[in-house]
Amino acid sequence: MNPGQPAAPGFGLSLNGRALRYLAQREHSRAELQRKLAAHAESPEQLAQVLNELQAKDFISEARVVESVINRRAGRFGAARIRHELQGKGLTPEAVAEAVSGLKASEVERAREVWRKKFGEPAADAAARGKQMRFLAARGFGSEAIRRVVSPSEDESPG
């Protein structure tokens, strides 16, 4: 087949095949698959049928999508950034809220580890402290976690 020539009928991937290819790469939510497959579906009904079948066979799982995102992102990003990513995947607000509440408990420890890898030592002056705080904020960590990591309290400072 020459490049630029359309594939012969019957040699393209079926809608189900495309969906399975996406799912083999990583977990996808139903909304993500719907966006990716819409251009390849002959009709919205066909797309809905394929997605319903995949969901019935448990190939599409909201819980696995949440778990996958948290496993991939929690070591580098804060709860706000992960919440934004989960919402972008079209997950239910309840699933997103539950996942984020679980992340809040370890927010300070995760922020401290990200800070340690990037900076390793306390800021020498206010400008350096501001840079460290902006870095952690861009990673989606909350203000309380950032304050505790970058500006140690009286309890943590030598006395």
Structural domains of the chain, with CATH: 22-35+56-105 (no CATH), 107-150 (1.10.10.10)
User: What does pTM read for this prediction?
Assistant: 0.80
- Please give the C-alpha separations between residue 97 and each of 42, 74, 94, 129, 156, in angstroms, as whole numbers: 35, 15, 5, 31, 32
Q: Name 87's Cβ contacts closer than 8 Å, sequence gap at least 6.
A: 96
User: 132 near 123, Cβ under 8 Å?
Assistant: yes
Which residues does 54 contact at the CB level (< 8 Å), separation at least 6? Answer: 16, 19, 20, 23, 33, 60
**129 vs 149: CA distance, rounded Å:** 10
From first to last of the 159 residues of the chain, give the pLDDT tens digit.
444 444 444 456 789 999 999 999 999 999 999 999 999 999 999 999 999 999 999 999 999 999 999 999 999 999 999 999 999 999 999 999 999 998 988 999 999 999 999 998 998 999 999 999 999 999 999 999 999 999 875 444 433
- What tokens does 61 get? 């799982």
Q: Which residues contact 97 (CB under 8 A, 6 or more apart)?
A: none
C-beta separation of 136 from 80 below 8 A: no
Backbone phi and psi for residue 8, each to the nearest 5 degrees, phi listed first: -65, 150
